[in-house]
Amino acid sequence: MGTRALFSVLVVATLLALSVDARTSSAQTPSLPIGLGFSQDTVAPVSSSIPVYAAGDQLWFRTYTTGVVNVTVYQPLSRGIAAGTGFSDIQGNTSVLLFTLASTDPSGIWTLQASTSAAQASVQFSFVDDGSPASLSGSDLSAGGQLALTYAFTSGQVYDLAACAVGSQPPAAADFNVPPGAGGGRISVALDRDQLTVTPLGGGAGLFRFWMTLSQDYSYQSNVGLAVYTKEMQVAETSPVEYSPDVNGSYTTALQTELPVRPGEFTLGANFQGSGGLTTIDTTVLVTGTGPWIWMQGCSNAANPLSDSVSVTSSLQTPTSEWPLDVYLVYDELGATLFSVVPVTVQPAAVVLEAGGFGSPLTDDQVNVQGSQSYAVGNGTIYLVGENYPIQFTVSTPQTPPQLVEVSRPYSVTQVNVSAVSLVVQTSSGGAPVSGALVTLKDFNGTVSARSSVDGDAQFYVPPGEYSVLGTYDGRNATLQLAGSETSSAGQTVLVPMQFSAAGGTSSAYLLTVALLVAIAFNAIVWTAVYLRRVRNASPRSRLVRRPSQNP
């Protein structure tokens, strides 16, 4: 059972305890024992729990007595009249399919009445759909080209939210690492309705037994109280095959369904059985009902299970085909996993400020934009969002005049040439290039930094002007000054040598330190000698007196 299912009982019980409305089903213990289910094999007595149905589910019915049964199913009240569908002469002790619920059916509490000549029963069950409204509550652009979108739900009955932003080419293939016990490597599984195509991605050389499973959490309401619980059921699987990526290559296999594959979020399990035993790797896919499935692993953001809003972030540094066109909002209601598709209304675009004559983005981030309110600037690119195109604005730098820019349509990249020079700072130490030196260009508008390459070069594309060049490498610093005359010609390349002192060299600071230590040592010697002399002078002296000898 996945993370989403773990919260189902707690979250649903909490929501229902706080707000019980007409969508909460109830049932009376029937005098005629009956059962409901999602398939022939899942039919169970309603005396303990009742299934919660969603679009695409099959309504299966059974009585546990002999004889003929008549059944009528009533939809929720619409304009005061409940529309009913009748089924007659159903044989007892037999599971039968009444009908399949569709997205066009009304959501709410449905009622099933069954009767024989001697007994009758009535039971209510819930049908939930994807009609819970959600709206964009906020958006944010970062200088790194990250577009964050936040969506809020107005219904208090939904929980455990997730979001998946997709572009014109949704991620329709799931990637798996083959376990070492099965030979290693990677494979990709493309998902297209009931067909799966397995493609090796390289690195594997083993032979293993491989098959896929598809499962989902189905929910039930307790016949007593407000509790809702979920049960993971296997919906489909593929036939096992003996597979070796480097021998078999790609192959296509069909899913053999055990339950109807309703639209929603599923767990896709990849099963590898090799010399190291059986390993199952799970991932999440979204079955949309039409077209290829969507791999949720690379595009989803989960929220707090009890939150009523969810955010998803997309990078605008990727190709425009991957920019978000739609957001799939996945959520639970009464334990059933549903989703809604919301088009992205704040449509993105980008303007690349190209250093004229060099074919590279401007390095200088000191860019002024006038006429657009929703934008961010980073690494010579203006990222913007809007609801109405074309969008016009002016762009300039402190060293260049304003230019009028028109972005004609969203999901596009517009190139704008800006007068610039190429500054190549050549860092070295002891005559050899240094890699990883931090080089910073500074003018009165701000700073921009880069690291030197393995060749010792740090390259900048900036408008002509005066710059201070600051360098730091291995605790050593260097500073240079570039006059405006040196960078005045747009389109030129200016080489700026920057020399760091050699490691262990005799810098001025080092020489001053040595001189100070020598002076301290000399003073210590002198004062020690003075002290010893004074001590000797202060001590009494003894003299040897030779007395004359006395003769007898």
- The predicted model gives 411-428 an average pLDDT of 93
Can you give the pLDDT at residue 460? 92
Q: List all residues 6 or more positions away from 231 whose beta carbon is below 8 Å from its beta carbon.
A: 217, 218, 219, 220
Most confident of 64-73, 124-133, 216-225, 358-367: 64-73
Can you give the pLDDT at residue 293? 87
Domains with residue ranges and CATH for the chain: 21-128 (2.60.40), 135-343 (no CATH), 347-418 (2.60.40), 421-500 (2.60.40.1120)
Tokens of 137: 């509550």
- The predicted model gives 257-274 an average pLDDT of 92
Quote the percentage of the chain above a pLDDT of 70.
Answer: 84
Q: List all residues 6 or more positions away from 41 whose beta carbon is below 8 Å from its beta carbon.
A: 258
pLDDT band at 299 (very low <50, low <70, confident <90, very high): confident
- The predicted model gives 369-377 an average pLDDT of 88
| Mean pLDDT of the chain, nearest integer | 83
What is the C-alpha separation between 404 and 395, in angstroms, rounded? 7
- The predicted model gives 452-461 an average pLDDT of 94
Which of residues 512 and 481 earns the better pLDDT score?
481
Residue 396 near residue 418 (C-beta atoms within 8 A): no
Can you give the pLDDT at residue 72? 93
Residue 51 near residue 39 (C-beta atoms within 8 A): no
Quote the percentage of the chain above a pLDDT of 90.
Answer: 50
- The predicted model gives 112-141 an average pLDDT of 89
Res 359 pLDDT > 50: yes
Can you give the pLDDT at residue 362? 87
Tokens of 292: 């290829």
Residue 204 near residue 175 (C-beta atoms within 8 A): no
Q: Picking from 88-92, 192-196, 354-358, which range would have the lowest pLDDT averaged per residue?
A: 192-196
Q: Picking from 127-136, 299-308, 439-448, which range would have the lowest pLDDT averaged per residue?
A: 299-308
- The predicted model gives 109-114 an average pLDDT of 93
Q: Picking from 34-38, 56-60, 73-77, 543-547, which range would have the lowest pLDDT averaged per residue?
A: 543-547
